[in-house]
Amino acid sequence: MVAGSSGEVAGTASPEKADVSSLKRPFRVLSLDGGGMRGIYTAAFLARLTDQFARIRGTTALDLGAGFDLITGTSTGAIVGCALAVGRPMQEVVSLYRDHGPKIFPHRITGKRSALFRAGRGSTYVRQGDKALREALTDVLGTRTMLDVFQRRNISLSIPAVLMSTHRAWVFKKTPRSGVRDDLYPLVDVCMATSAAPIYRSLAAIDDPNTVGGPKQVFADGGLWANNPIMVGLVDALTIAGPDQPIEIYSLGTCPRPEGDHLDEESAHRSMLDWSLGADVAPLSISAQEFAFDNMARLLANAMSDCGRSIRRVRFPNKAVPASMMPYLALDDTRPEAMDRLVHQAHTDADLTKSACDDRNNPEGAMISRLMNNLPAMPVSGVVWPTDDGRKG
């Protein structure tokens, strides 16, 4: 997705140069990055953009999740993605972060002293956060499983995590080609697994639905290897889509940090304490992965497009995040002013994206506009998929 000046759309030079494959229905992928509390930015951005298109189309709301064949999301991105997959409104997800964020992250790590204080409390805070997150997710996702989403909504899901018993990447997956291994995993458990960030949260100990009464499976955050899951989405799309079917990937970040660390030689000798007992490593890893995975996807998409396979991707944001946002981008920052700033930035970026959609010479904007104009409207009742207790969802 795009804000500001247009970026590159892989495999697309201009609308008039589109090949015959562009006339076929594209296989659409939504890829959502991890980023802790910055997930409120993702939800607010999508809420704002879809609301604008809904009003233009004269309807109350649009079912954004129904616009995608595959949704892949890591950590907080999986929470947003699974909510979309079951038809929950994004404003409800914004409220999830506002209402439950302070309980999910009850103690913010702000530097050496807070890290030492946190270490002295043992597992107290992560245990509290684990309970709060499960309760919040259950309110939104109920007891739905990966298979439920595929059968009811015809949406494939690919959610990265790490299986601790093997220290290997694991992707919770339900697609037409994925088999049955992950069919019965509840979405709540999947989201707990992919968002189990070491240091910040508990590891996720969940039931294996294929072994009733067996030992728990323990997972860590998928952001350890795929915080930007665009390559997961691209590989799955190539596996699922027809050989001549165009692929479109919509990749959304979480308002990443606008700058790195400018270090002198002496500052290079950092101790564990200088890294806040490891807490400062996570933002570094996230930033590096966002850049690396997006560029790998861009290069692969371009190479395959040169060989005749139509693959288009848009990445948001593709402009620098304002430096004024820097104090509000910590993964565990639940201060009201931090959430307010993230939501405000999301609205600004969504408005810029809508402007790009109105520019007929902007190929990224045209791609997003086609998606939005093809989305089904929410039912008049507001019920896409009733929850276990009969609430709208």
Question: What would the pLDDT profile of 196-234 be if each residue is shown by its tens digit?
Answer: 988 888 899 999 999 988 899 999 999 999 999 999 999
Residues whose CB falls within 8 Å of the CB of residue 307, separated by 6 or more in sequence, listed in order: none
Least-confidence region, from 152-166, 222-236, 290-304: 290-304
CATH for 284: 3.40.1090.10
Query: Using 50, 70 and 90 to split pLDDT, how confident is the model at 11?
Result: very low
Q: Which of 139, 221, 236, 332 is catalytic?
A: 221
Alpha-carbon gap, residue 33 to 289, rounded angstroms = 10
Number of domains in the chain: 1
Is residue 385 in some structural domain? no
Name the residue among 232, 209, 208, 230 with its Cα closest to residue 219: 208
Residue span of the structural domain in which 146 resides: 15-255+272-374
Percentage above 90 pLDDT, the chain: 66
pLDDT in the model for residue 21? 43
Angle (nearest 5°) at CA 220 between 82 and 294: 65
Of 75, 158, 195, 310, catalytic: 75
pLDDT attached to residue 19: 43
User: Which residue do the tokens 């200088």 mark?
Assistant: 274
What is the average pLDDT across 324-345?
A: 92
| Cα 135 to the center of its chain, rounded Å | 20
339 alpha carbon, distance to own chain's centre? 17
Residue 392 lies in a domain: no
Residue 11 is given by DSSP the state T
**What are the structure tokens assigned to 144, written together?**
């739905």
Q: Is residue 263 part of a domain?
A: no
Q: Is 221 one of the catalytic residues?
A: yes
pLDDT at 190 over 50: yes
- Residue 36: pLDDT band with limits 50, 70, 90: very high
Has 75 been annotated as catalytic? yes
- Does 59 map to a domain? yes
pLDDT of residue 111: 59
Structure tokens at 233: 């989405």
Q: What is the pLDDT of residue 118?
A: 53
In a domain, 7, yes or no: no
Tell me the pLDDT tens digit for each residue of 238-294: 999 999 999 999 999 998 776 666 666 666 766 666 666 566 677 777 778 878 888
Q: What integer pLDDT is reported at residue 345 of this predicted model?
A: 96
- pLDDT reported for residue 175: 98
